[in-house]
Amino acid sequence: MAATAVGVYCASRYAADIGMRRDVVKVPVEDLTRRLATGLLQVVESQISASPLQDSSQIVTR
């Protein structure tokens, strides 16, 4: 029973996270490593707002 539950959970996560995402683009690993090595990667849409910290020793939580 537990093995079946884990299998169903893993399959549903795969379908939700990888199989059905419309907001991602598949990139060949060769192209990805080339871009990482040469610094050609760019952020298309940032999810994190860039706000400078006043004191770098402080931890900011939201």
With tokens 């399959």, the residue in question is: 11
b/e code 32-51 from CB counts within 10 Å (16+ = b): eeeeeeeeeeeeeeeeeeee
- pLDDT of res. 35: 83
pLDDT in tens, 31-54: 888 887 887 776 566 665 555 555
**Using CA atoms, how far apart are residues 14 and 20, in angstroms rounded to an integer?**
9
pTM: 0.32
* Closest by Cα among 13, 16, 10, 14 to 2: 10
